[in-house]
Amino acid sequence: MTDSPTRGYTTKQADYVKRLRRIEGQVRGVQRMVEEDAYCIDVLTQVSAITKALQAVAIGLLDEHVRHCVKNAVTDGDAERLEQMVTEATKAIERLVKA
């Protein structure tokens, strides 16, 4: 359906949106916890869970993106675009690891 070679996560799009909605709900839950003066350590446990869920989404998206780019590259033989893709992906990984 899509003609874009670099948007590789459409196949599981609905799944990612669902996971992000759950994460949104978890963030709202943390807001409530803070408002209701919940025990700090419980709030932190929840924040760690959200961070993990976000990282898992990010890694899933990255996996699909690279897979998609690489598949197109084998078809197109476009080595230069692939070089650019790797450079971009590496920078994204760097930001994820440092976040």
Quick check: 23 binds a second copy (CB under 8 A)? Answer: yes
Here the tokens at position 85 are 């893709």
Rounded to the nearest angstrom, the gap between the alpha carbon of residue 7 and the centroid of all alpha carbons in its chain is 13
Per-residue DSSP letter, 11: G
Question: Rounded to whole angstroms, how far apart are CA atoms 88 and 80?
Answer: 13
Nearest distance, CB of residue 21 and a second copy, angstroms: 6
Look at the alpha carbons of 14, 15, 20, 22 in this order and tell me if their dihedral is positive or negative: positive
> What is the contact mask toward a second copy in residues 69 to 88, using x (rule: CB under 8 A)?
-xx-xx--xxx--xx-xxxx
Q: Which residues bind a second copy (CB under 8 A)?
A: 2, 4, 6-10, 13, 16-17, 20-21, 23-24, 27-28, 30-31, 34-35, 37-41, 43-45, 47-52, 54-55, 57-59, 61-67, 70-71, 73-74, 77-79, 82-83, 85-99
